[in-house]
Amino acid sequence: MKNIRLSAPGFDPAATADKTLAIVLKNDGYCFCVSENNSKKLLAAQANDWPEEQLKQHPSDRLLWLLQQEALPGKLYARVVVALWSQRFALVPAAVYQDGTGTDYYERVHQRSLDEQLNRDSLKHTEAELIYGLAYGLLGAVRLRFPSAGIRSLPGMLTEYLYSKATAAETIFVSHKGNDLLLWAYKKQKLQLFNCLYVETAEDVLYHSLNTRKQLGLEHAELVLLENGEEQQALMQLLTSQFTVCGSLSPGEELTAGFEMAKLEKGALADALALLCVS
């Protein structure tokens, strides 16, 4: 992710009391943007990697550093939405979910870490609740700085965003960033599968995509690769060799901006842009 600083001509960073702030905190970096309240018009957007010394810090300390280094997140806003990255999550059928049972189900899927705090994210367009784990104290640190913020998990937020993009009868969405692979499978806009996998090569991405198609019997699935701010041409060519219909998606492309955003910049900012679209 490169150091991105974009703003619309005439945007006043000191006059944000009637604006919306969307901020996403991930393992490798952060991104955030400012928009007109209750509208799809972007006024400012920023993204960057965490400095190397911050990668060694607790996520709560990274948030404190971000607020000290970046001016925009420290302003007053009419509305704040925050998404937090978690690799560890479990989908629990909403029909059987009861308070307390989500934690039990999560711990059967993952061995719970002592420094892990579990949270629940309701997904409007699915029949499941998402239980996810965060570093202990991170949620409290966010609430301390943004008491009225709407807080989502990044996987849950993207799941709802992609629901509106699953227009084909069968769709498999692929998001590849570093060693993380996120896979969604939709059939007639109904979520069939959502998983997070560790990958090392483009061939690993292809293998898991093909395995998902075979497991779910989605032989006619359209595969959609989410742009991530990096060069993905080689990966797209590999996927196209095995999927008849392939496409790409730049999350947040429906937003308008008062500044120019190249594809690379859209990819780096994609999470924050998608968060705005579903918040």
Q: Which residue has the tokens 């996520």?
A: 59
pLDDT at 279 (0 to 100): 83
Please give the model's pTM, rounded to 2 decimal places.
Answer: 0.92
With 70 as the cut, is the pLDDT of residue 252 above it? yes
Report whether 125 contacts 243 (CB < 8 A).
no
pLDDT at 265 (0 to 100): 84
Cα–Cα–Cα angle for 93, 127, 198, nearest 5°? 70
Q: What pairing do the DSSP bridges indicate for beta strands 41-49 and 256-257?
A: parallel
With 60 as the cut, is the pLDDT of residue 1 above it? no
Superfamily of domain 159-249: Protein of unknown function DUF3822, C-terminal domain (3.30.420.260)
Could you read off the pLDDT of 34-52 as tens digits, one per residue? 999 877 899 999 999 999 9
With 90 as the cut, is the pLDDT of residue 106 above it? no
Report whether 30 contacts 66 (CB < 8 A).
yes
pLDDT at 127 (0 to 100): 85
pLDDT at 80 (0 to 100): 96
Q: How confident is the model at residue 64 (pLDDT cuts 50, 70, 90)?
A: very high
Could you read off the pLDDT of 202-232 as tens digits, one per residue? 999 999 999 999 999 999 999 999 998 888 9
Q: Which three-class secondary structure state does DSSP give residue 31?
A: strand
Report whether 92 contacts 105 (CB < 8 A).
yes
